[in-house]
C-alpha cells in the first residue's frame, strides 16, 4: 500500500506526528506493535503513574490532613485492587481515545512490528503474515525501554522496572528502589504512601542529578521527612531473587533485603529489530538515532523523533518534535525551542523547572540575579494547607531576561506553564512582575519571585 507518510510507533511522538500530518493533508499510516495505542506514556508510564500518585495523595490526605480541616474520617483503608482498576480504566479511556483520534483523522492503523525493507519501504510483521507498505517519508518514533544494571537480572516480577511497579498485586513490605531519578521518586512515593518501607539507593551523592541542586536538596529533605530512606553515593553491584526475598548488593554497604525491587536507572532507545541497517541509519554510542536539526536521519526519506533520538526522554518533547518534523516535511520549515522544554516530577510536593539551572549558568560564566519566594507567603497555599516549597527565578544580570525557573511546591507542574510561556516570549523578570495575577492563586508566587529578583517582593 502506498502512503505519503508512514509513522512507526504510536506513542506521544508518533501519534501526534500522524495527526499533524493528516491535518496537513497527507495520506498517513501508523504502525504500532502493541494492541493499545499511546506508547509507554499512556500504557505503562506517565498516565498510570499519575493515576496512582493521585489516588495515594488522596489517601494520604484522608489519613493525615483531613483532621486539620475539621473532617473526621476514621477507618480509612485501601482496596489496592480497586485502586488499580481505576488506574487501568484511566489508561483504557485514553488509549481508546487515541484510536478514536486516528480514525477521525483517517489515519490507517496497522498492528504489528514494523521492519524497514528499503528506501520508502516498511513491512508490517503480523501474527498471520506480513503487509508491505511504501511511502515518500517515514518517521521513526519507537520510543525507549527501561535499562537494567550489570549483575541485575530482571525477573519481570519481584525484580522489575516501572512496568511492574505500576501493578504490584500487593503492597510490598519493603520496596528497594535503585535510582533516585524521576521514576524512582514518583513510584517510591506511591508505595511509601500505601505503607511500604521504601529505600532508595542512588549512585550519585545527590538525588535528581541534572536538576537545580538547591531545589534537589530541598526535595531530599522533604522526602526524608516523608519517611523515604536514601542511600546516596552508593553503587548497586548485583541483585537477585531468593524465593520471596530480593537481595541487593551495595558497594561498601553489604546486602539490603526487601520483597520487591524497582530498577529505575534510565531508559534506552528502541531500535532492535527495526532494520535500521538496511538503509544505513546511523546511531551514536548510546544507540540513539542521529538526526539533523530537521530530524532527518542518515537515510534519505527517514526521520526520527522522541526518545529514540538524543535529548530528554519526555512525552511533550516528543510531541513537539513530531509536529516540527511533519511541518518540515510539508513546508520545509520547523523549529523546536529546546531551551523552553519544561520538566515536571509529580511527587508531593511537585517539582518543575524550565530553562537553565544555577549550575549551568555558573558553568557557562553567565551572571544572573535570583528571586526566590516561599509558598509559605502565599494566601492560597495557606488555604490549601500546602505551604512547603518555593519558586526561584533566575534572570540575566544585565538584560533581566528570564533564564531559568525552578519550582518545588503545590501544583508546580501547572505553575511552570506561565514560566515556559514567558521564556518562549523572551520575557524579563520585570515583565512577569508587572503582569496582574489573580488573587488568591498559587500563580502569585511567580509574580512575587519575579519581584524578588529586584528585592521587592511584597509578602516577604
Ligand atoms: P533518570 O535518569 O531520571 O534517573 C536514574 C537514576 O539512577 C539517576 O539518578 C542515576 O544516577 C541513578 N543510577 C544509575 N545507575 C545506578 C546504579 N548502579 N546504582 C544506583 N543508582 C544508579 O531515569 P528514570 O528515573 O529511570 O527515568 C527514565 C526516563 O523517563 C527519564 O529520562 C525521565 O525523564 C523519564 N520520565 C519522566 C517522567 C516525568 O517527566 N514526570 C516520569 C518518569 C520518567
Q: Report pLDDT digits (tens) over 12-47.
A: 999 999 999 999 999 999 999 999 999 999 999 999
Among 222, 244, 265, identify where a domain stops.
265
Same domain, 101 and 113: yes
Residue 151 lies in a domain: no
Same domain, 202 and 288: no
What value does the mean pLDDT take over residues 409-435? 98
Ligand 1 site, residue 203, Cβ cutoff 6 A: yes
As a whole number of angstroms, the distance between CA 157 and CA 274 comes to 27
CATH number for the domain that contains residue 84: 3.50.50.60
- Share above pLDDT 70 across residues of the chain, in percent, rounded to a whole number: 100
Same domain, 347 and 411: yes
The closest residue, in CA terms, to atom 40 on ligand 1 is 344
Same domain, 123 and 51: yes
Residue 125 lies in a domain: yes
Please determine, for residue 377, whether its predicted confidence score (pLDDT) is greater than 90: yes
Q: Report pLDDT digits (tens) over 48-75.
A: 999 999 999 999 999 999 999 999 999 9
Ligand 1 site, residue 403, Cβ cutoff 6 A: no
How much distance in Å is there from the Cα of 212 to the middle of ligand 1? Answer: 15
Task: Domain of residue 236: give its range.
Answer: 159-265
Same domain, 188 and 322: no
Of 293, 40, 6, 18, nearest in space to 144 by CA: 40
Q: Report pLDDT digits (tens) over 224-278.
A: 999 999 999 999 999 999 999 999 999 999 999 999 999 999 999 999 999 999 9
Instruction: Report the domain count for the chain.
Output: 3
Catalytic residue (choose from 64, 69, 335, 439) = 439
Of 8, 21, 60, 1, nearest in space to 385 by CA: 60
Ligand 1 site, residue 145, Cβ cutoff 6 A: no
Ligand 1 site, residue 110, Cβ cutoff 6 A: no
Ligand 1 site, residue 180, Cβ cutoff 6 A: yes
Residue 371 lies in a domain: yes
Ligand 1 site, residue 178, Cβ cutoff 6 A: yes
Same domain, 246 and 370: no
Phi, psi dihedrals of residue 96, rounded to the nearest 5°: -70, -30
Same domain, 135 and 277: yes
pLDDT in the model for residue 135: 98
As a whole number of angstroms, the distance between CA 355 and CA 24 comes to 31
How much distance in Å is there from the Cα of 86 to the middle of ligand 1? Answer: 26
As a whole number of angstroms, the distance between CA 255 and CA 352 comes to 34
**Relative orientation angle of helices 80-104 and 12-23, to the nearest 10 degrees:** 30
Residue 154 lies in a domain: no
Among 207, 241, 265, identify where a domain stops.
265
CA torsion through residues 308, 309, 310, 315, sign: negative
- For the question of residue 439 being annotated catalytic, the response is yes
pLDDT in the model for residue 32: 98
As a whole number of angstroms, the distance between CA 352 and CA 406 comes to 6
Same domain, 261 and 275: no
What value does the mean pLDDT take over residues 317-328? 98
pLDDT in the model for residue 114: 98
Please determine, for residue 456, whether its predicted confidence score (pLDDT) is greater than 90: yes
Same domain, 395 and 419: yes
Instruction: Give the sheet arrangement for strand 229-231, strand by strand.
Output: 159-160, 260-263, 174-178, 197-201, 229-231
Residue 89 lies in a domain: yes
As a whole number of angstroms, the distance between CA 437 and CA 434 comes to 9
Residue 122 lies in a domain: yes
Please determine, for residue 373, whether its predicted confidence score (pLDDT) is greater than 90: yes
Among 238, 265, 292, identify where a domain stops.
265
Indicate the top mutation candidate among 186, 265, 269, 313 to test ligand 1's pocket, ranked by most ligand atoms within 8 A of CB.
Answer: 265
CA torsion through residues 20, 23, 28, 29, sign: positive
Kindly report the number of other CB atoms within 10 A of residue 277's CB atom: 12
Record the pTM.
Answer: 0.97
Please determine, for residue 1, whether its predicted confidence score (pLDDT) is greater than 90: no
Q: Report pLDDT digits (tens) over 69-116.
A: 999 999 999 999 999 999 999 999 999 999 999 999 999 999 999 999
Burial category of 156 from C-beta neighbours within 10 Å (exposed 0-12, middle 13-18, buried 19 and up): exposed
CATH number for the domain that contains residue 447: 3.30.390.30
Q: Report pLDDT digits (tens) over 146-171.
A: 999 999 999 999 999 999 999 999 99
Q: Which three cell numbers stand for residue 325?
A: 518534523
The closest residue, in CA terms, to atom 1 on ligand 1 is 181
Same domain, 92 and 115: yes
Residue 325 lies in a domain: yes
Amino acid at each position: 500500500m502506498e502512503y505519503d507518510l508512514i509513522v512507526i510507533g504510536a506513542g506521544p511522538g508518533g501519534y501526534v506526528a500522524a495527526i499533524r500530518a493528516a491535518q496537513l493533508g497527507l495520506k498517513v499510516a501508523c504502525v504500532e506493535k502493541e494492541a493499545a495505542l499511546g506508547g509507554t506514556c499512556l500504557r505503562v508510564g506517565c498516565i498510570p503513574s499519575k493515576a496512582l500518585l493521585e489516588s495515594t495523595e488522596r489517601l494520604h490526605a484522608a489519613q493525615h490532613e483531613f483532621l486539620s480541616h475539621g473532617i473526621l474520617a476514621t477507618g480509612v483503608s485501601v482496596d489496592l485492587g480497586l485502586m488499580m482498576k481505576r488506574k487501568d480504566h484511566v489508561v483504557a479511556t485514553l488509549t481508546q481515545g487515541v484510536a478514536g483520534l486516528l480514525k477521525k483523522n483517517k489515519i490507517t492503523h496497522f498492528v504489528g512490528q514494523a521492519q524497514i525493507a528499503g528506501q520508502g519501504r516498511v513491512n508490517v510483521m503480523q501474527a498471520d503474515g506480513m503487509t508491505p507498505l511504501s511511502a515518500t517519508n517515514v518517521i521513526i518514533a519507537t520510543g525507549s525501554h527501561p535499562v537494567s544494571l550489570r549483575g541485575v537480572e530482571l525477573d519481570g516480577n519481584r525484580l522489575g522496572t516501572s512496568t511492574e511497579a505500576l501493578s504490584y498485586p500487593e503492597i510490598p513490605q519493603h520496596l528497594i528502589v535503585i535510582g533516585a531519578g524521576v521514576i524512582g521518586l514518583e513510584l517510591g512515593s506511591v508505595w511509601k504512601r500505601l505503607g511500604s518501607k521504601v529505600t532508595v539507593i542512588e549512585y550519585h551523592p545527590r538525588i535528581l542529578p541534572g536538576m537545580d541542586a538547591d531545589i534537589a536538596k530541598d526535595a531530599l529533605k522533604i522526602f526524608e521527612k516523608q519517611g523515604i530512606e536514601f542511600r546516596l553515593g552508593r553503587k548497586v553491584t548485583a541483585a537477585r531473587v531468593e524465593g520471596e526475598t530480593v537481595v541487593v548488593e551495595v558497594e561498601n554497604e553489604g546486602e539490603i533485603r526487601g520483597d520487591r525491587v524497582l530498577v529505575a536507572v534510565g531508559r534506552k532507545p528502541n531500535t532492535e529489530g527495526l532494520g535500521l541497517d538496511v538503509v544505513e541509519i546511523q546511531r551514536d554510542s548510546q544507540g540513539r538515532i542521529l538526526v539533523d536539526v530537521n530530524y532527518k536521519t542518515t537515510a534519505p526519506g527517514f526521520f526520527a523523533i522522541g526518545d529514540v533520538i538524543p535529548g530528554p526522554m519526555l512525552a511533550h518533547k516528543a510531541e513537539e518534535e513530531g509536529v516540527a518534523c511533519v511541518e518540515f516535511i510539508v513546508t520545509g520549515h520547523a523549529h523546536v525551542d529546546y531551551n523552553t522544554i519544561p520538566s515536571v516530577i509529580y511527587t508531593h510536593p511537585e517539582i518543575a523547572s524550565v530553562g537553565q539551572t544555577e549550575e549551568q549558568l555558573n558553568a557557562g560564566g553567565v551572571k544572573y540575579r535570583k528571586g526566590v519566594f516561599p509558598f509559605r507567603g502565599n494566601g492560597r497555599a495557606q488555604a490549601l494547607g500546602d505551604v512547603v516549597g518555593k519558586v526561584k527565578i533566575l534572570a540575566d544580570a544585565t538584560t533581566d531576561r528570564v533564564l531559568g525557573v525552578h519550582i518545588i511546591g503545590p501544583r508546580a507542574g501547572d505553575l511552570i506553564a506561565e514560566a515556559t510561556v514567558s521564556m518562549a516570549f523572551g520575557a524579563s523578570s520585570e515583565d512577569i512582575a508587572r503582569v496582574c495575577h489573580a488573587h488568591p492563586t498559587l500563580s502569585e508566587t511567580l509574580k512575587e519571585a519575579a519581584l524578588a529578583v529586584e528585592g521587592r517582593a511584597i509578602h516577604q
